[in-house]
Amino acid sequence: MARRDYLIGKMGISLLTLLFVLLLDFLLFRVLPGDPVRAVIGRNIRISADVQSSLRAQFGLDKPIFLDQFVDTLGQWARGNLGVSWSQRRPVSEILISKLWNTLLLIGLGQLFSIIFGVMLGLLAGWKRKTPFDIGALTFSLIAWATPTFWLGIILLVSGSAWFGLPTGGIVSPANIGKPLHTVLPDLIRHLILPTLTFTILYLGEYMLIMRSSILETLSEDYILTARAKGMSNFQVLMRHGLRNAMLPMVTIIALNLGFTVSGAIYIETVFSYDGLGNLVQTALVKQDYPLLQGAFLLLAVSVIAANMLADFLYTYLDPRVKAN
Amino acid sequence: MNEKPLLRVRGLTTEFVTSEGAVARALEDVSFDVLPGKTVGLVGESGSGKTTTLMALMRLLPASGRITKGKVWFNDTNLLALSEREMRDYRWKSMAIVFQGAMNALNPVMKVGDQIREAILLHDLMDRGAAEKRVRDLLEMVGIAPARRDQYPHQYSGGMRQRAMIAMALACAPDILFADEPTTALDVMIQAQILQLLKEIQRALGLAVVIVTHDLGVVAEVCDEVVVLYGGKVAEYGSVDRIYNHAQHPYTQRLLESFPDINNPSETLASIPGTPPRLTQLPPGCRFEPRCHVKINRCAEVSPPLLEVEPGHYVACILREGKEANFQ
Ligand SMILES: Nc1ncnc2c1ncn2[C@@H]1O[C@H](COP(=O)(O)OP(=O)(O)OP(=O)(O)O)[C@@H](O)[C@H]1O
Ligand code: SF4
Ligand SMILES: [Mg+2]
């Protein structure tokens, strides 16, 4: 009961946040310089003022920004209509979706590996505290955490291609573009190795450090002593009583990262010429393609909010103490 | 006293390395017996080594502590000579413990019933179905509705958590139950209930109990024998009757004086002037010397051994020296 109320409350907050973000997204691209109609007609200044105003009316731009234009826009967005890209002359939603999968693949793999290895490394380091293993893992993680994304990407790109002959960019080799997925899978994997590795190393350090301090704190709790008194081996105590409690702070961090990780993807996708959202945003910025940027911004904001919701759901599942307070 | 002791603690000595790197001798030469089905009370002021004694007996001292000397005979096995692997078999199956301030002794993210069942399954005592039935029986025995086995610790009140801890401690039918101040964190009404429960369970199961307490009223009510600890050493050890009515050690005498009404268990020990010894800088003589009201010159030089003044009554005080034999 309490748990349901808690989740409903959280959903309410998420909805409010979403509304606010939509408003911001809407306003941001209204206050940027430039008239939308001008942008559509381009340099063709010979179009008469009458036609211009009828165009304005057609796009609803003659109505007051509040509430009519905002509500209109919300309606359009809700139907998946995010406008047309100025630079590509294609619907924004179509462009976003075509890139979304590539990015999800990269982020998904990167997060998966960094979570698995980060948690394992942190768990073992905390458990074997002050041993050479702990000190080694700690040093590695601190360095990995402090390394700039761009720099790490370039180093891995150079060494990976020079020593292992791995591809330097793209998602599949040019010859394989457009072929069915299962035939190009080995090629795809070869292309994914370096960007995924970069991603993994970048997040692994953070996860390891948090997991380590979390497990250290957990291991000093009374119920850990109880578990040992029951006759469990240290390893059993670690896995049965330590891990789940120590994962609690991790869940929040992971979910938040999932939302914000796209910004990390911008660098990595740029370095590896990886055809995903990050690359798209970068191009859109350079070309001042406002509708495309607005759509991308919307997508990112929604994914951050969704990731937060996910964290809340997971948290109530992992920690029965979470209640409406 | 001719029944064979279940547990014989002999010369138990432990040291902690403090954060400053100094060595604190938390226990020195602690000896006592626990007879089957009997209750021993461990009393002494804060820091006298009561918890350390129990932890050492279960070999659960923190990493900074270690046992440097002594023997702990459980029946005919010296627990201190076992490997860690072998020792694990004794934990919970032979000796279980209810911790001091047990409010956080249950895992917050695990159902209470699962935590109890875990102990049973860990020691391979029965199959899952039988273990599940035992969990419910145990909860019932300590006065918790079996249906609440699926609840989490935060859904229990303080008293119920302590009851659940007791149920958990009984899960593997241990021979000895250690209870480290099992009632201090609870309010007075609940304290009395928990104590009553412990007494009933002990009688019903024929359990031996070692109970740590500040409360001499509790000792008088539940214990058969008493070990008085001062600064990590046994000051006096004997039957409840001997300790209450014929205390021989000046410290025990002061303790009893500062606790006039044993029928009023709500009172705790009033303080004796002075402070306990610093375990990192122990005096060469009697540890109670700085606070003792009847000390003689020699007290500051010679550390008094534990002597038997009457059959089964032991005292560590120079004033009782001469006519008696050493503790075996
Ligand atoms: N982990 C530790 N590191 C260093 N010293 C310790 C440690 N644990 C206990 N000690 C010291 O050992 C001595 C005995 O402590 P212990 O906890 O056994 O006392 P106690 O009799 O149980 O006291 P209380 O009534 O407060 O529970 C104390 O002086 C304490 O400072
Ligand atoms: S040995 Fe001396 S100082 Fe110690 S308790 Fe006895 S009389 Fe007091
Ligand atoms: Mg204690």
Distance separating alpha carbons of residues B238 and B236, to the nearest angstrom: 7
pLDDT in tens, B234-287: 999 999 999 999 999 999 998 888 775 555 555 554 567 888 888 888 888 999
Residue B292 counted as domain residue = no
Distance separating alpha carbons of residues A205 and B186, to the nearest angstrom: 44
| Structural domain containing residue B250 | 7-263+270-277+304-324
Helix (H, G, I), strand (E, B) or coil at B174: coil
CB-based contact (8 Å) between B152 and chain A? yes
pLDDT score, position A40: 62
**pLDDT band per the 50, 70, 90 thresholds, residue B16:** very high
Residue B2 counted as domain residue = no
- Here the CATH number for the domain that contains residue B36 is 3.40.50.300
Does residue A155 contact residue A179 with C-beta atoms inside 8 Å?
no
Mean confidence (pLDDT) of chain B: 89
Instruction: Give me the mean pLDDT over the A113-120 stretch.
Output: 94
Residue B76 counted as domain residue = yes
pLDDT score, position A306: 86
Q: Provide the ipTM.
A: 0.89
Full DSSP string of A175-218: GGTTS-HHHHHHHHHHHHHHHHHHHHHHHHHHHHHHHHHHHHHH
For ligand 3, an ion, list residues with CB under 5 A: B 51, 100
CA of B25 to the centre of ligand 3 (A): 16
CA of B45 to the centre of ligand 3 (A): 9
Helix, strand, coil percentages for chain A (3-state, nearest 5): 80, 0, 20
pLDDT score, position B125: 85
Domain with CATH 1.10.3720.10 in chain A: 92-324
Pocket of ligand 1, beta carbon within 6 A: B 16, 18, 24, 26, 44, 46-52, 62, 64-65, 100, 279
pLDDT score, position A325: 39
CB of B237 shorter than 6 A to ligand 2: no
Instruction: Give me the mean pLDDT over the B76-85 stretch.
Output: 95
The residue of chain B nearest to residue A221, with distances taken between CA atoms, is B104
Name the token pair of A165.
Answer: 């002959």
Residue B255 counted as domain residue = yes
CB-based contact (8 Å) between A90 and chain B? no
B87: pLDDT strictly greater than 80: yes
Domain count, chain B: 1
**pLDDT band per the 50, 70, 90 thresholds, residue A270:** confident
CA-closest residue to ligand 1 atom 19: B47
Residue B11 counted as domain residue = yes
pLDDT score, position B6: 95
Contacts of A251 in chain B (CB under 8 A): none
- Phi and psi torsions of A181, nearest 5°: -55, -45
Pick from A155-159, B53-57, B269-273 the range whose average pLDDT is largest: B53-57
Contacts of A221 in chain B (CB under 8 A): 104
CB-based contact (8 Å) between B102 and chain A? yes
CA of B49 to the centre of ligand 3 (A): 7
CB-based contact (8 Å) between A129 and chain B? no
CB-based contact (8 Å) between B92 and chain A? yes
B217: pLDDT strictly greater than 90: no
Tell me which DSSP letter residue B153 carries. G
- Which CB contacts under 8 angstroms, 24+ apart, belong to B277-285? B277/B231, B279/B16, B279/B24, B279/B25, B279/B26, B279/B47, B279/B231, B279/B232, B280/B18, B280/B22, B280/B23, B280/B24, B282/B25, B282/B231
Distance separating alpha carbons of residues B157 and B139, to the nearest angstrom: 14
Tell me which DSSP letter residue A91 carries. B
A170 vs B65, residue with greater confidence:
B65
pLDDT score, position B72: 97
Q: In what order do the strands lie in the sheet with B176-180?
A: B95-98, B176-180, B208-212, B39-43, B225-230, B233-239, B313-315, B307-310
pLDDT score, position A242: 93
Tell me which CATH code domain A92-324 carries: 1.10.3720.10
Q: Report the predicted TM-score, pTM, of the whole model to 2 decimal places.
A: 0.83
Residue B285 counted as domain residue = no
A244: nearest CB among B85, B109, B154: B109
Number of H helices, E strands in chain B: 9, 12
**pLDDT band per the 50, 70, 90 thresholds, residue B223:** very high
Distance separating alpha carbons of residues B32 and B233, to the nearest angstrom: 11
CA of B5 to the centre of ligand 1 (A): 27
B93: nearest CB among A228, A231, A318: A231
- Phi and psi torsions of B208, nearest 5°: -85, 140
Residue B1 counted as domain residue = no
Residue B162 counted as domain residue = yes
CA dist B229 to B10, B97, B235, B284, Å? 15, 20, 6, 18
Find the ligand nearest to B230 CA.
Answer: 1
CB-based contact (8 Å) between B114 and chain A? no
Name the token pair of B253.
Answer: 């005498």
Instruction: Give me the mean pLDDT over the A230-244 stretch.
Output: 94
Mean confidence (pLDDT) of chain A: 85
CA of B321 to the centre of ligand 2 (A): 11
